[in-house]
Structure 1
Amino acid sequence: MRSPRPERRVEAVIFDFDGLLIDTETTLLQSWTFEWAAWGLEISKEGFFADHGGDVTEERFAKLADAVGPSFRRDVSEKRRLAFRAGLHEDLELNPGVGAWLQEANQLGLRLAVASSSPRAWIVEHLERVGVLDRFEVLACGDEVDVPKPNPAVYKLCLGRLGLAAHAAIAVEDTPHGVSAAQAAGLRCIAIPNPYINPDKVAHADLTLPSASEQPLASAFRR
């Protein structure tokens, strides 16, 4: 009789950042909506969010410049939008349930990491601001890899820094390309779609939840 297969213990949780730990996706859309309105225009929300983790700031400015015409001033526009978004971030906290998950992970002896397509300075700034930077043992960032999600490069970098095989960690993501990146790296993945993602788009995740407040982390792991 074949002996039962030993259970593989989860040792770490790897979180995406934007839209998952903190809702910077909403402030991004709000800042661009504000900036279009400053030029007397209305932004189209269709296709606003890219289907990859790369930086599309230049494409967004190009679209705005085309809409405004010759009077467009990039320097004025960029300074105004960033100042408006910074104001929105002053009171922005962790997403619902995330703080409880981080605390529970600590109680369970799980290591914590971030794997994001965003640059390190951005991630550090916000994790410091909400007082949780020291919870994360490893950060793997978009400016440390050549290609963004859905390429698995940033997850492979994160696993390498943790010194773990993929089966020893679980990823938590909020977008389809994030889920695809995690799974391409061999990770199981929990999806908590951000407000701009149709839950059907992350159905390929191993588990989909509407919020981290839906259930304790250990319960999500068991499911």
Structure 2
Amino acid sequence: MGKQDARLIIFDMDGVILDSEPLHENARQMMFKKYGIIPDEKMPEAVGKSSSGFWRKVIEIYQIEGEPYALEKEQYHLVAKQIEENDVKPSDGLVELIMDAKEKGMGIALASSSTRILVDDSLRLLGIAEQFDVTVSGDEIPKKKPAPDVYLKVLELTGVKAEEAVAVEDSRAGIEAAKAAGIFCYGYDNPTSGMQDISKADQQIKSIREIKV
């Protein structure tokens, strides 16, 4: 089945729904300062991965006091605060794409590695929460991306087959997750998401506006 006759479009959140990676980076930098961490070459990769996993590695490497999920929660609180204070908008072309998809009777879903709290806060603050039929967060599935669990859960909840869906991702881990679930995946080359390898995507795009449904 080609992407033009898909019944469901599934979005990643960070870096796709909104340019949130700079907000996450700001939050991490604020927390490094707070906890006395001086980042160096040992600092683990953060983009496209689970934040609790990132903080688990940071705790081990830099020997700081803290619990991974508590630090993840603190980071996400700082991200939501920035979305609200800076009046952050959805990615360019996103709302139009959602409206076009809805007009054609397509379902709209979200598959995120972030926690339910950040997913709900972000969509609410962006004013688009009601547009989504199904949202699945990273704390609601056994394994986060690059495992396919989050996408398989979306398919289960919507009753749509993998070949009838398309995904939009901006990170290597996200693309691998969508592909492992058997879903056609657009790789969004978002400059604010850092240097991401999106070569495994079925189609690479520079703008959300390039996606036609």
Q: TM-score range by the shorter chain?
A: 0.7 to 0.9
Aligned to 2:143: 147
Greater CA drift, 153-162 or 121-130: 121-130
Q: Which residue of 2 aligns with 1:119?
A: 115
2:56 is matched with 58
- Within-5 A mapping of 1:39-118: 42-44=38-40, 47-49=44-46, 52-53=49-50, 55=52, 56-61=54-59, 63=61, 66=64, 84-90=78-84, 91-118=87-114
1:20 to 16, 21, 35: 16
1:196 aligns with 193
**Partners of 2:2 and 2:9 in 1: how far apart?**
20
SS in 2 for 1:202: coil
Alignment: residue pair count = 205
TM-score, normalised relative to structure 2:
0.81
- The gaps in structure 2 that reach 5 residues or longer are none
- The structure with the largest alpha-carbon Rg is 1
Change (3 A) 1:127 1:8: closer
**Compared CA separation, residues 170 and 86, structure 1 to 2 (3 A):** closer
Change over 3 Å in CA distance of 1:133–1:208 after alignment to 2 = same
Structure 1: gaps (5+ residues): 67-71
Change (3 A) 1:34 1:173: same
Residue 174 of structure 2: which of 165, 175, 178 is its match?
A: 178
Task: Give, in whole Å, the separation in 1 of the partners of 2:2 and 2:124.
Answer: 39
**What CA distance in whole angstroms lies between the structure 1 residues aligned with 2:29 and 2:166?**
35
Alpha-carbon distance in structure 2 between the residues aligned to 1:54 and 1:41: 16
Alignment-mate amino acid for residue 164 of structure 1: V
* Structure 1 counterpart SS, 2:151: helix
Tell me the TM-score normalised to structure 1 length.
Answer: 0.78
Question: For residue 28 of structure 2, what is the aligned residue in structure 1?
Answer: 32
- The 3 A distance-change label for structure 1 pair 60 and 41 is closer
Contact 2:37-2:62 at 8 Å conserved across structures: no
Find the aligned partners of 1:169 and 1:80 in 2 and give their Cα distance.
Answer: 34
Q: What is the rounded CA distance, in whole Å, between the counterparts of 1:182 and 1:14 in structure 2?
A: 9
* RMSD of aligned residue pairs (Cα, Å): 3.1
Aligned with residue 138 of structure 1, among 129, 134, 141: 134
